[in-house]
Each structure stands twice: as C-alpha cells, then as structure tokens.
Amino acid sequence: MAYRTLSDINKNVASDVESFIESAEEGFDGSVSSLVERFVSDCDCDIVLLAGPSSSGKTTTAGKIVEKINRSGRNAYTLSLDDYYHNAADIPMTDKGVRDFENVSALDIDLIHKTFSDLIENRKAMVPEFDFVSGTRKSEMRSIELKKDDVIIVEGLHALNPIITKGLDESHIYKVYISVSSRVTDDDGKVIFSKRNLRLVRRMIRDYHYRNTSVEKTFSQWPEVLKGEDKYIFPYEKNARFRIDSFHPYESSIFRDEAVELLDTVDNASCFYPLAQQLKEDFSRLRPIDISKMPDNSLLREFI
C-alpha cells in the first residue's frame, strides 16, 4: 500500500504542477503497459477479466488496455458485465428497500457463461445491452466475433468472482484487479483520505455529472456499496494475476473545488452533514489544481 502526504502533494502543486500531473499519468500508464506486456508475452488468452470496486476506473482502464493491445499487433474489444443485469424489477431488494445491484446474483450468470463459452469455443457470441434509464435489458442483442489472436476485455464489479467462470477452461482467461490502493496522510501518518473515501469522492462527482444524483443520495447508497464489496469483491482479489493501483497523486487537488462545491449542497439538518463537513475540512488542507490542467485521456476524466 502506498501513501502520499498532504505536504508532499502541496509542495508538488506549488512548485511544478505540470510535472506533478505528468508524473502521475506516466505512473498509471506504466502500470497498464506492464500488464499488457506481461499478458502479450506470457499468455495465450482470449479473455481478460478486469474487476474492482466502485469508482476504481475500470471502464477507462479497459479502454487503455484495448489501445495498448491493439498497438501490440492484436485486436482487442471491451465488454461490460453491467449489460448482464437482470431487469431491475427482478432484482431482489436490500433491507433498505432498494434494488441490490451490488449482489452478484443481480447478474444473469447463465447468460455470462454462455457468452464466455461461445467466445472460447466458437469465437463469436450474441451479447445483451442493458438500458439503465428503463432498468431493463434491450430486446435486441448484438453480435461480437473474435478472429485469431483477438482479445475481449470484460470489466465489471464481479469479474473475479469464481461464479463468473465456473465450468470454463480458465487457461483462456487472464484476471486483473484494479482499485485505489493508496492513501493520503498528514506528516504524522494520520490518514486524511482513506482508499474508500478517495473512491467516494470520485463517485460523488461522477454521479452528480453523469447520473443526476445528489450528494446525499450518493452518501446514502455508499454503505450498501461497501457491504457488497466486502462480500462479493474483496474476497476474490487474490484470484488476480495482475493488480493496478488507479490512485493519481494529484487527484484530490484537482477534485478539490468541485468536491467542496458539491459538499456545500448537503443540508445542515441531514444525517450526512458531518461527513460532508469533514470532507470539506480535509479538502481545505490541499492546494487546488485547475481542472483545465487534467489531460484529456486521464482516467480521472471518467469522474468529472
């Protein structure tokens, strides 16, 4: 587990912010390059499974893996396990009265098995598409076909859960885990932004921009998200052959102003007001970075 101190971050922001950002981006890009180099040289696999908890950057990372595999001379494509959700009306409720999308049983496991089996045995498959607006699977499926040496990158919360690959020949499958694996501390080692709070900030901003979700609703969903991670994701992290830390050392500074503005929307009568105030206090200790300095191809663009 890596650590970054507030003073180190602030020093880099003040002295040479462009180099600070460039170094962070190169570090993450290097991790993805190392994965692809190992995959291409050591594995004759058809399927890469990319798993990780909420707001780890799975979607962007899957795209970056595809780009690098394509440059290696093989063709690669992406597939999301989110498209395999059952219709929302058929997904069981949590004890909070909301649909339990964090549960692996919310996915159509039989259809996932059929897709993987068809790809491995026949090199082609029909795959679904889920409409998150209506909460239903679209009636028409799309066709994908893998030619010789082609690769499919499958990303999703539960991609490393053994139930996903049960009964399949795993010699065709390469497993990767991604998450925020670093923390931000003060100079005395006290954790200021935990791994989970770094992801919460990412999710808060993303949900506001892309899912029309208030900060309070994101906060209210978070305990169930964490419960699902503990039960369905973290136990299978050990199954990965490669791990990626998606933490970018400059992310808290570049998210700072946007995050504080959103946190200010939490009503002082809300049960989430103390959390919002604590996060605001933590952000106040960081020098901000203007959002315009974020590279267009940064993983952090997934959230803002």
Split at pLDDT 50, 70, 90, the class of 3 is low
The residues, ordered by sequence, that sit 6+ positions from 17 with a Cβ below 8 Å of its Cβ are 250, 289, 293
SS3 content of the chain, % helix, strand, coil (to 5): 50, 15, 30
Q: What is the mean pLDDT of the chain?
A: 95
> Rounded to an integer, what distance in angstroms lies between the CA atom of residue 195 and that of residue 184?
8
Answer for the pair 175, 51: CB distance below 8 angstroms, yes or no: yes
How many percent of the chain have pLDDT more than 90?
87
129-152, pLDDT tens digit by residue? 999 888 899 999 999 999 988 999
Residue 252 has pLDDT above 70, yes or no: yes
Q: What is the pLDDT of residue 96?
A: 80
> Rounded to an integer, what distance in angstroms lies between the CA atom of residue 144 and that of residue 201?
35
**Residue 47 phi, psi dihedral angles, 5° rounding:** -130, 130
Residue 273 CA: distances (Å) to CA of 128, 175, 227, 253: 40, 39, 22, 22
Domain 2-303: CATH architecture, name and number where available: 3-Layer(aba) Sandwich (3.40)
Domain residue spans of the chain = 2-303
254-279, pLDDT tens digit by residue? 999 999 999 999 999 999 999 999 99
pTM of the model: 0.94
Amino acid, single-letter form, for residue 67 = E
Helix axes 58-71, 6-42, angle to 10 degrees: 50
- Counted residue by residue, the chain has a size of 304
Residue 103 has pLDDT above 90, yes or no: yes
96 or 202, greater pLDDT = 202
Split at pLDDT 50, 70, 90, the class of 2 is low
Residue 299 has pLDDT above 60, yes or no: yes
Helix (H, G, I), strand (E, B) or coil at 44: coil
Mean pLDDT of 26-36: 97
Mean pLDDT of 115-134: 93
Split at pLDDT 50, 70, 90, the class of 44 is confident
Q: What is the pLDDT of residue 93?
A: 87
Residue 186 CA: distances (Å) to CA of 4, 5, 176, 183, 190: 8, 5, 31, 10, 5
Mean pLDDT of 71-88: 94
The residues, ordered by sequence, that sit 6+ positions from 273 with a Cβ below 8 Å of its Cβ are 266, 267
Split at pLDDT 50, 70, 90, the class of 42 is confident
182-221, pLDDT tens digit by residue? 999 999 999 999 999 999 999 999 999 998 899 999 999 9
How many percent of the chain have pLDDT more than 70?
99
159-180, pLDDT tens digit by residue? 999 999 999 988 899 999 999 9
